[in-house]
Amino acid sequence: MKVGEKLDSQEITATQRFTHHPARYTEASLVKALEERGIGRPSTYAPTISTIIKRAYVVKEDRDGKERKFQTWILKDDEISGSLNSEVVGTEKAKLFPTHIGTLVTEFLVDNFENVVDYTFTAEMEDQFDNIAKGKLEWTVLMKSFYSSFHQTIEDSKSITRTSIGGGRELGLDPETGKKISVRLGRFGPFVQLGEADEENNIKPKYASLRTGQMIETISLEEAMELFKLPKNVGLFEDKDVVIGIGKFGPYIRHNSIFTSIGKEDDPHTIELERSIELILAKREKDANKIIKLFTENDLVKVLNGRWGPYIQYGKDNVKIPKDTEAISLTYADCVRLAGGKEAEDKPAYAKKGAKTATKKVASKKETTTKKAAPKKAAAKKSVAKKAAPKKAAAKKAAPKK
């Protein structure tokens, strides 16, 4: 090649690309960020991460990516050709994702304790602690300079109510009923609410939990309306309705008054009849395989398959089976022997023991009360006897006069 030489293009390719969000933290990258900002010490990194996970401010999990379309254009031999391709984006492995409660707490602290949650605060405080350790600074001076302003911040935050930091917002009105639709954070997570409670007319609002990935800050009215479509009937199986819904313990399938849980791999809003039947049959098979052996001597004693292997259900108590014993070969006498020879009862042993303990405590209190009351009665008898004694003596003296 020479300077100024004219080159003819053989092929020019243009590929559509999208802006990516910043990478989410892993435990390792979070520790690295703390080190770079001078926050904490090596001994505090592990407790810090375990605390935010334990308090459900973040969750550590894998998330599947989503398919996205993109265009590619090629200029070759003075002709342009294009194609539509697809790629999977957003796949995350062992990443830390903020929860609704974590976002809410962070916003509250930033709004009301900005100077304390500032990145430089902890780093500068670490340096001050080092100066105290070296004798260059009195700890009382540091505490006085910090607490004088911090105390006023605490006093100002006392007027903040729970409702003011609930993170709720109004989305709009239901086109059919005209009722207000709002979203906020509740005890069991974020939810949308349709209507308001009216105790006089016994009217209760309708609730629906947010789906995975939906946020209080970004959910739209249209997305909220989709959440109220549950429970829904997806079809018939064995001449019985198959109903999909979300309850207190998560999404479920209801068929013939029997509930089947829906796992994370299925979306209750998009699950179809065919997949629902698969889950129903899988639950039936699991329940059938759970029972290993029943006994006519006592229906409270069963040999079952559990999560960690076979075990004996002895009334409401669970009894381990020795490793060298086959579960199917157990007799009723074997189960009684392994349970310690006691009789199988509807109540678990620990509840029975608790009741006995409570009875003993009540009995001991009565005994203590009786013992304490006894000296008072004895003292009362003595005082009565002393008062009565002079009268008897006077009566004896009067006798000779007669």
- Considering only residues 207 and 81, tell me which one the structure prediction assigns the higher pLDDT: 81
Q: What are phi and psi of 351, to 5 degrees?
A: -70, -40
pLDDT given for residue 83 in this prediction: 93
Q: Which residues make Cβ contacts (< 8 Å) with residue 106, sequence separation at least 6? A: 57, 98, 117
Which three-class secondary structure state does DSSP give residue 195?
coil
Q: What is the Cα–Cα distance from 183 to 155, expressed in whole angstroms?
A: 30
Q: What is the Cα–Cα distance from 207 to 193, expressed in whole angstroms?
A: 5
pTM of the model: 0.52
Break the chain into its structural domains and give their ranges: 12-157, 167-227, 232-289, 295-338, 361-396
pLDDT given for residue 263 in this prediction: 82
pLDDT given for residue 165 in this prediction: 65
Question: In this structure, are residues 327 and 293 in contact, taking their beta carbons and an 8 Å threshold?
Answer: yes
Radius of gyration of the chain (CA): 37
For 330-356, the pLDDT digits (tens) are 898 888 888 888 777 665 544 445 545
Q: Which residues make Cβ contacts (< 8 Å) with residue 117, sequence separation at least 6? A: 106, 109, 110
Mean per-residue pLDDT over the chain, rounded: 80
Q: Taking residues 15-40, what's their average pLDDT?
A: 90
- Considering only residues 244 and 249, tell me which one the structure prediction assigns the higher pLDDT: 244
> What strands, in cross-sheet order, belong to the sheet with 250-255?
232-237, 240-247, 250-255, 258-261
Asked if residue 378 has pLDDT above 60, the reply is no
Which CATH fold topology does 12-157 show? Topoisomerase I; domain 2 (1.10.460)
% pLDDT > 70, the chain: 83
For 39-86, the pLDDT digits (tens) are 888 888 999 999 999 988 999 988 888 899 999 999 998 899 999 999
Q: What is the Cα–Cα distance from 16 to 294, expressed in whole angstroms?
A: 65
Q: Amino acid identity, residue 352? A: K
Q: Taking residues 236-264, what's their average pLDDT?
A: 86
The residues with which 311 forms a beta bridge, in sequence order, are 304, 320
Torsion of CA 363, 364, 369, 375, to 10 degrees: 120
- For residue 389, give the H/E element and its range: helix 349-398
369's tokens: 């009360």
- For residue 227, give the H/E element and its range: helix 221-227
pLDDT given for residue 373 in this prediction: 47
Alpha helices in 57-184 (DSSP H): 100-112, 119-133, 139-157
Q: Taking residues 131-156, what's their average pLDDT?
A: 87
For 273-282, the pLDDT digits (tens) are 999 998 999 8
